[in-house]
Amino acid sequence: KQEVTQIPAALSVPEGENLVLNCSFTDSAIYNLQWFRQDPGKGLTSLLLIQSSQREQTSGRLNASLDKSSGRSTLYIAASQPGDSATYLCAVRPGAGNNRKLIWGLGTSLAVNP
């Protein structure tokens, strides 16, 4: 059974720091992995999606890496800003074919302090 774990559960950093959020999954047979951001009281915003054949994806100050064999993904945020404060969720789509159900981590709650 696929399980997704995110560490740390919460993180507080001063503005300007570079930081890394971790996501691990127990079954390496994944189709893709997606990082989302959730602001309080709001829905989820997709940040980056990495296909199983890819090693990393970049968007602006965000970089997500994927190491399928070790069951790990990291989300790197460069030069953090107070506006980055949110909960970051990692979700895995298992296997290939038509199984589109995502398996979710519990998230990392990030606070960037001015």
Partner 1 sequence: GAGVSQSPSNKVTEKGKDVELRCDPISGHTALYWYRQSLGQGLEFLIYFQGNSAPDKSGLPSDRFSAERTGGSVSTLTIQRTQQEDSAVYLCASSPPSGRNEQYFGPGTRLTVT
Binding site for partner 1 (CB under 8 A): 4, 31-32, 34, 36, 41-46, 49, 51, 89, 91, 93, 98, 100-102, 104-107
- Nearer to partner 1 by Cβ, of 47 and 80: the residue is 47
Q: Which is nearer to partner 1, 74 or 109 (CB)?
A: 109
Per the CB < 8 A criterion, the answer to whether 13 and 111 are in contact is yes
Residue 88 CB neighbours (<10 A): 22
Shortest distance (Å) from residue 79 CB to partner 1: 26
Q: Which is nearer to partner 1, 79 or 96 (by Cβ)?
A: 96
Q: What is the CA radius of gyration of the chain?
A: 14
CA dihedral 76, 89, 7, 9 (to 10 degrees): 120
